[in-house]
Structure 1
C-alpha cells in the first residue's frame, strides 16, 4: 500500500494544489462581487453557472478524454482554470463574471475527471478504499487551505485572484511529471432517476435536497458572513468551520447509520440541520464566536447528508447497480446545485442575507418530514443487503469505482 501511495503522490499533490486555488476563488469571488455592488441575484447566478459548467464538463469530459488523452485534457482544463480568475480581474462586469464562472466550473469538472480516473486505474480491489480515503482527506485539506488563504490579501486587490490562478497553473507540474500509464476513459453510466426514485425515494430526495441547500451555502455564505460584520480573517475561518464540521462528522454519522435504519439518521440529521439553519439566521449576528460555532454545527449536519443518502439508496440495490445509482444521484445533486444558489438569492434579495439559512432550513425540514413519512410506509432493507458506510466525493462519476461498496473490478497492476 505504501508503494502504491507513493506512486499516486503526484496525483494527490496536483489535487491539493487545484483545490487550494478552487477554495480561494470560491471564497473571494462572492466577497468581491458584493464589494463591486453586484446584487444577490447576480451572485446567485454566478454560483449557479459554476455548477452548470460543472455539469456540462461531466458530460463533455469523457469525449475529450477519448480524443486527446488524460494529460492534454488536464493541461487544457488547468489552463482554463488559471485564465478565469485573471479574466475576473481584468473585466469587472456582472455578465462576464457569470459566464467566466461557468467556464471555471467546466474546467474543474475535467480536472476532477482526470484525477479520479487515474486514481481508479491505479487502485486494486484491496486498496481502493484506502486510496479513496486519502483522496477525500486531500479534498478537504486542500479546500480549507484555499479558504484560509483568503486572509493573505484584500478582495479588492489583484493578489488573491492572481494567487488562485497560480495554484491552478502549478497543479500541472506534478501531473506533468508523473510516470503513471494513462488510464482508459471511464464509461458513462446509464442514468435512470425515476426508476431509482421508485426503489429508494429517501436516497434520491436526500441528494437533491443537499444540492439545493449546499449549493446555495457555498455561493452565498461569504456574503452572509460579510453582512454580519465578520472580519476578513474570521470570514476565512467561518468558511473553514463549515467545511471542517462536515469533514469531522462524515464518518461518525456514517458509522451510526450502519447500526440503525439509515432513514432515521437522515431524518434526524436533516431536522437538526434545519434547526441549526434557523439558529444561524436568528442568532448568527450576535457575535463572531456564536456564528463560527453555529456554522461548524451546521456543516457537521448538512455536509454528511449526501453520503448518508447515497448509502441508503445503495442498501436497496444489488451491488452491480452501485455505479449506475451513484452516478444518477451525483447528477441529480449537481442539477439541484445549479438551481439552489439562484433560488436562495431570490429570497435573500428581499429578506436579507440571514434568509439564506432560513431557505436551507426549509429544505432540510422538508427532507426530514419526507424521511419520517417513508419510515411508516416502507420496511428497512434486509441486513444482508446493507454495505458499511463510506464517504463519497461529490465530484465526477470517475471516482465511483474507487468506492469499496461497488462491484469488484479486474485487478490493476499495482504501482502502475
Structure 2
C-alpha cells in the first residue's frame, strides 16, 4: 500500500506533458462543445417561454443568468482551492445538466428562471477553470494567441448551438435533452487530459477606487458593456419572437449576432492598437447608437437587413468590452493587474445583473423595444463621457500598451486572476 501511494504521489508531481499548442486542445474542445449547448439553451428558453405567453419569465431569466454568473465569479476561487480544477469542472458541468433537466421536465416557468441562474453560476466557474488551465499550460510565446483562439471557438460554438436549435422542434423537450447530451460529452476531453492541475487562482479582490484611479474610461466601459451585452443577447430573441419571427429565423439571427465578434470587434480592436483606444471607444458608441436606431426602424419583413443591423449592433457592443479592458490594462502597473482584473470582473457581472433586471420591470410598461432604447441611452452616455476624458488626459504612449486580444462580453475575463504569477508579462501579449 505504501509503495503504491508513493508511486502515485511521485507520478502526480511529475509534469504530464510538455507545453505545446496541442496540449490545450482538450480544454478548447470541451468548452466549444459546452458552448453548443449554451447556444441552444440561450435561444430555446426565450423563444419557448415567449411563445407560451410567459414573457415575464423570459425577461427575468436574463438577469437571473447574470446574477448566477456573479456568484460563480466569487465562488470559483475558493471552490478550486478546496477540490481542484478537474473535480470542480465535472461538478459545474453537472450543474449545467441539472439546469437543462429542470427545463426539460416541463415545470412552471419560475423553474426555468432558476435553471438559468444555475447555468450562469456553473458556466462562469467553468470559464475561470479553463482560463486558469490555459494560462498554466500555455507558454509565453503563444499564450495570447491561445486565449484569442479559445474565445473565438467558444463564440462560434454559441452561434452553432443557436443555429442547431432552429433545426429541432421547439415543442417537447428534445432541445434541452440535446443540451444534456453535449454537456456530458464536453466532460470527456478534459476528463481524459494529461495536463497537470495548475495552482489555485488569485482571490477576487475588489478595489473600485484603485480601478477608478487607473482608468475611469476602462471601468465605466466594462460596467456599460456588462449591461449592454447581456441585454442585447438576452432580449433580442424575445423581441424577435414577440414580432412573429419563426423559430428558424430566430436561431439564424442569434447565429449572425455571434459573428459580430469576428467582423466588427476584431478590426476595431486592431485599430485600437494604432490610435488612442478612447477614439475607438467613441466611434464604437456611435456605431451602437446608429445601429440601435436602425434596429428600431427596420421591419421584420426585411429579415436579411435586420440580421445585418443586429450583427453590427451585437459586434459593436462586444467591442466596448474588449477595448475598455485593454485600455484599463494599458494604464495599470504590473502589480495592479490582479486586483484590477478582479474589480472589472465583478463590475461586469454586477452591471449584467442590474441593467437587464431594470429592463425586465420597465418593458411591460414602456414596450418591447425598451431594451433597444436602453442600449442607445447607455452608449450615448458613455460616448459623452469618453469625449470629456479625451480632453482631460493624454493617451497612453504606444510603447506602453498591451496588444489587443479578442475577448467576448459573454465570457468573464478572468485570465489575469487565473494567472498564479499575478500578472501579464510582455511575452503574453499578441504579436
Q: Which residue of 2 aligns with 1:265?
A: 280
1:397 deviation in Å?
5.5
The corresponding residue for 1:368 is: 383
C-alpha separation in 2, matches of 1:410 and 1:263: 25
What CA distance in whole angstroms lies between the structure 1 residues aligned with 2:406 and 2:308?
Answer: 24
From 67, 76, 80, give the equivalent of 2:91: 76
Q: Which residue of 2 aligns with 1:414?
A: none
Q: Match of 1:135?
A: 150
Q: Which residue of 1 aligns with 2:3?
A: none
| Residue 399 of structure 1 pairs with residue 415 of structure 2 | yes
1:353 to 356, 368, 377: 368
Q: Secondary structure at the match of 2:50?
A: helix
- Tell me by how many angstroms 1:392 deviates: 2.9
Q: Could you tell me the TM-score, scaled by structure 1's length? A: 0.92
Q: Please state whether the residue corresponding to 1:392 is helix, strand or coil.
A: coil
Asked whether the equivalents of residues 39 and 349 of structure 1 are also in contact (C-alpha less than 8 Å), the reply is no
CA shift, 1:91, in A, is: 4.1
Q: Which residue of 2 aligns with 1:118?
A: 133
**Equivalent position of 2:228 in the other structure:** 213
Deviates more, 1:360-369 or 1:251-260: 251-260
Instruction: Identify if the C-alpha distance between structure 1 residues 376 and 397 changes in structure 2 by more than 3 Å, giving closer, same or farther.
Output: closer
Determine the C-alpha separation between the residues in 2 that align with 1:355 and 1:397: 28
Does the 8 A contact of 2:206 with 2:343 survive in 1? yes
Deviates more, 1:204-213 or 1:277-286: 277-286
Aligned pair 1:337/2:352, yes or no?
yes
Match of 2:41 among 25, 28, 32: 25
Q: Which of 198, 211, 220 is 1:196 aligned to?
A: 211
> Could you tell me how far apart the structure 2 residues matched to 1:14 and 1:199 are?
36
- The answer (yes or no) to whether the contact 1:347–1:356 under 8 Å persists in 2 is no
Q: Secondary structure at the match of 1:152?
A: coil
> Relative to structure 2, which stretch is displaced further, 170-179 or 193-202?
193-202
* TM-score normalised by the chain length of structure 2: 0.89
Pick the aligned partner of 1:274 from 258, 273, 289. 289
* Alpha carbons of structure 1 residues 235 and 246: separation in structure 2 relative to 1, 3 Å: same
Aligned equivalents of 1:88, 1:373: Cα separation in 2: 47
- In structure 1, the partner of 2:159 is 144
Partners in 2 of 1:409 and 1:372 — Cα distance?
30
Mapping 1:243-258, distance limit 5 Å: 243-258=258-273
Q: Which residue of 1 aligns with 2:181?
A: 166
**Structure 2 spans left out of the alignment, 5+ residues:** 1-17
Aligned partners of 2:201 and 2:306: how far apart in 1? Answer: 42
CA distance in 2, matches of 1:360, 1:13: 33
Mapped partners of 1:133, 1:410: distance in 2:
15
Over aligned residues, Cα RMSD in angstroms? 2.3
Report the alpha carbon displacement of residue 5 of structure 1 after superposing the two structures with TM: 2.3
Of 40, 62, 68, the residue aligned with 1:53 is: 68
3-state DSSP class of the match of 2:72? helix
Q: How far 1:408 sits from its partner (Å)?
A: 2.6
SS of 2:415's equivalent?
Answer: helix
Distance of aligned partners of 1:173 and 1:409 in 2 relative to their CA distance in 1, 3 Å threshold = farther
Q: What are the Cα deviations for residues 40-91 of structure 1, in whole angstroms up to 9, with x where unaligned?
A: 4x32221111111111112112222112222211111111111211111214
* Cα separation, 1, equivalents of 2:230 and 2:186: 25
Matches of 1:408 and 1:189 in 2, distance apart? 20
Of 3, 20, 23, the residue aligned with 1:4 is 20
Match of residue 59 from structure 2:
44
Q: How big is the shift at 1:358?
A: 1.6
- Partner residue of 1:34? 50
Taking the aligned partners of 2:301 and 2:209, their CA distance within structure 1 comes to 45
SS at match of 2:166: helix
Work out whether residues 169 and 175 of structure 2, in 8 Å CA contact, stay in contact via their aligned partners in 1: yes
1:302-327: CA deviations, max 9, x gaps?
11110110111122222332333233
Partner residue in 1 for 2:5:
none
Equivalent residue of 1:168, what SS?
helix
Contact 2:224–2:378 (CA<8 Å) still a contact in 1?
yes
What does residue 15 of structure 2 align with?
Answer: none
Q: Gaps (5+ residues) in structure 1?
A: 412-416
From 151, 154, 169, the equivalent of 1:154 is 169
